[in-house]
Amino acid sequence: MNGASISNRKMDGQAAQILIIDDDEGDRKQIRRAIRQSGMKAACVETCSIKEALSACERCEFDCAIVDYWLPGEDGLEGITALQQKLPFVAIIMSTGHGDEIVAVEAMRRGAADYISKALVNAVSIRIAITRALEKSILQRKVWEQQNELENFARVLAHDLISPAASVQTFARRIAERLQEGSPEKALQYADYVIQTAERMSRLIGTLHQYTQADAQVTFDAVDLNQALNEAQANLQNLIQAQGSVVTSKTLPTVFGNAPLLIQLLQNLIGNGIKYCDDPVARIQVEASEKDENTWLISVTDNGIGIPKAEQKTVFEPFVRASTARKREGTGLGLATCKKIIERHGGAIWCESTPGASTTLFFTLPGVDRAACSSPEPGPPAESCVDAQPARR
């Protein structure tokens, strides 16, 4: 389970998915009743064994698993390891009998986020345990993502910065040689190469900076997307005019978000629509529709080269580029930055595309009314009172 998914569940009012693993029907009923009485919005799935639980994980991405230590013929501690192999970031709570504190400590050493004594299971204790476990799970996921990003950054810096830096050194030496030979025209030609290479390095550094800034602390307020779109187009004015591109839109809503981030989002999507277009005129259309009472669905459609169906999910990952775009200069961070921005707003982003014809990027944003009831920052599941729904076995 990843932090973004938990956040999206909260923003969309969906129930947290909780897996209860216990061979005793009475204990399962006690946990389920405590969750219901806690007021947490949750849907429970019950299994009697680790084997059944692993099978359930094939059908559902659980947010939290409550695992009994004493399972007939099975080791609850080994079950923790098995569950983490299936769902690396599921928040696991070990359920123990009275006096099993030593087992609880071992469970946490193996990766459980918390433990709870069966004798102490009630609405308050289960709420605290689940909330604390989910918070730890979100933090672990963020740490893992940041480590991966650092590794990717190191790879990109090594490949995309060291190589042009070496080129600059080579051209600089040739400039010096040509000046010594009395060939200023040739020296000027190498000087142009130096400038072009430096500009590419500058663009890469700027893109990396944009990506990291998408995680910076920001404030959220009402944002008029019409104004945000106007500012994004102003930032792209030179590119739009140079390419003769056409950007049109229908009336857009006011949403709850951060204006600079949403301007950057629209700028990235429009810029991509222009950059990755083979038609004589790039045409980008921005539209909006009300997804539900408090969520807007925004679409940005272009007539570009498109994205193959098999790559329509991976293109949102850092440093991943569509195969159709690899002949053009780029870093693979544009859509990844857009994904970060949308996740900061508790939304989702995806695309539909016909290679060689068009691509539509869809994303959701919260309406302004949501500001009064929740924050778009990631957090534990929503706390509205809805009965847990046990699944049939």
Q: From CA 345, how far away is CA 214, in angstroms rounded?
A: 11
pTM: 0.59
Question: Which pair of structure tokens corresponds to residue 238?
Answer: 């030179």
Confidence at residue 201, expressed as pLDDT on a 0 to 100 scale = 79
- Specify the DSSP class assigned to residue 186: H
Assess whether pLDDT exceeds 80 at residue 339.
yes
Q: Which residue has the tokens 């290679």?
A: 355
Q: From CA 181, how far away is CA 187, in angstroms rounded?
A: 10
Reported confidence tier of residue 332, pLDDT bands at 50, 70, 90? confident
Question: Which pair of structure tokens corresponds to residue 317?
Answer: 């990952």
Q: Which residue has the tokens 């949102």?
A: 316
Q: Are 302 and 359 in contact (CB under 8 A)?
A: yes
Reported confidence tier of residue 203, pLDDT bands at 50, 70, 90? confident
Confidence at residue 231, expressed as pLDDT on a 0 to 100 scale = 94
Percent of the chain with pLDDT over 90: 41
What are the Cα distances from residue 182, in Å, to 133, 135, 188, 192? 72, 68, 12, 18
pLDDT in tens, 247-282: 999 999 999 999 999 999 999 999 999 999 999 999
Q: Are 21 and 49 in contact (CB under 8 A)?
A: yes
Q: Which residues contact 204 (CB under 8 A, 6 or more apart)?
A: 156, 160, 161, 331
Confidence at residue 261, expressed as pLDDT on a 0 to 100 scale = 93
User: Helix or strand or coil: residue 305?
Assistant: coil
- The DSSP bridge pattern shows strands 221-224 and 91-96 to be unpaired
Q: Which residues contact 365 (CB under 8 A, 6 or more apart)?
A: 225, 255, 256, 257, 262, 295, 296, 298, 342, 345, 347
Q: Note the helical H segments in 182-300.
A: 184-213, 225-235, 237-243, 259-275
Report the range of poorest mean pLDDT among 69-73, 105-109, 160-164.
Answer: 160-164
Cα 371-250-353 angle, rounded to 5 deg = 90
Assess whether pLDDT exceeds 80 at residue 225.
yes
Which residues is 359 bridged to in the sheet? 302, 353
Which residues is 44 bridged to in the sheet? 18
Closest CA to 336 of 232, 208, 230, 158: 208
Region of 302 please: left (phi>0), alpha (psi -120 to 50) or beta. Answer: beta
Which residues is 354 bridged to in the sheet? 358
Q: From CA 365, how far away is CA 328, in angstroms rounded?
A: 30
Reported confidence tier of residue 285, pLDDT bands at 50, 70, 90? very high
Q: Are 133 and 64 in contact (CB under 8 A)?
A: yes
Q: Which residue has the tokens 């204790």?
A: 125
Reported confidence tier of residue 117, pLDDT bands at 50, 70, 90? confident
Please state, as a whole number, how many other Cβ atoms lie within 10 Å of the Cβ of residue 26.
9
Q: From CA 46, how far away is CA 60, in angstroms rounded?
A: 12
Question: Which pair of structure tokens corresponds to residue 144?
Answer: 């893992």
Confidence at residue 331, expressed as pLDDT on a 0 to 100 scale = 72
Report the range of poorest mean pLDDT among 60-69, 151-160, 178-187.
Answer: 151-160
Q: Output 151 or 20, whichever has higher pLDDT.
A: 20
Q: How far separated are the first and last CA of the chain, in Å rounded?
A: 23
E-strand ranges in 225-307 read 246-249, 254-257, 283-292, 295-302
